[in-house]
Amino acid sequence: MSPAARYDLVTLLHVTADIVFVAGLLAGALLLAALSDQEAGALARERRLAVAMRRWHRAVTSPALAVAWACGIWLALQAGWFHSGWLHVKLVLVLGLSALHGALSAALRRASADGSAPPARAWRVLPLLAFGAVAGVVWLALLKPF
C-alpha cells in the first residue's frame, strides 16, 4: 500500500471514529439533560435508558474515542502538524471533549444506579457546549487557519 493510500485510509478511519464518538457523546449528554428534568419516581422508570446508554457508551463511544485519538496523532505526525498553531487549539478542544466524555461516563454510571438522584441540571447546557467544540474542531481541521 502506498503512503498516500495509507494516509487516506487512516484519515477515513479517523473521521469515521470522530462521527461515532460525537454521536455517542451528544446522545448521552442529551439523555442526561432529559433525565435532569425528571422527578425521582419518574427517574426510576427511565433508568433502563441510562443503563442502555451506558452499555452503548462503553461498547461503542469509548472505543471510537480511542481510535480517533490514535489516528489523529498518527496523521499529525505524518503531516508534521505538531508545530502548527491551529492544531494546538484543536487539541485543547479535543481534550475538553475527552474530559466531557469522562464526566459523561461517570454521570451515566450514577444515573444507572438504583436510588440515584437526577443528573445535575448542568447537563442541559453541555450538549450545546459539546456541539460548539465539535464545530470548532471541524473548522480548524478543514481550514487550518494559522
Average pLDDT (125-142) is: 95
What is the pLDDT, as a whole number, of residue 10?
98
Structure-model confidence comparison of residues 87 and 114, the more confident one: 87
Place of cell 439533560: 33
Lowest mean pLDDT segment, chosen from 34-38, 78-82, 90-94, 129-133 = 34-38
Q: Which residues of 4-32 are buried (b: 16+ CB within 10 A; e: fewer)?
A: eeeeeebbebbeebbebbbebbbbbbbbb
What is the pLDDT, as a whole number, of residue 121?
85
Lowest mean pLDDT segment, chosen from 37-41, 45-49, 64-68, 133-137 = 37-41
Average pLDDT (74-81) is: 97
Answer positive or negative: Cα dihedral of 128, 130, 136, 19. negative
What is the pLDDT, as a whole number, of residue 120?
86
Predicted confidence band at 16 (pLDDT cuts at 50, 70, 90)? very high
Percentage of residues in the chain with pLDDT exceeding 90?
Answer: 79
pLDDT at 13 over 90: yes
pTM of the model: 0.93
pLDDT at 128 over 90: yes
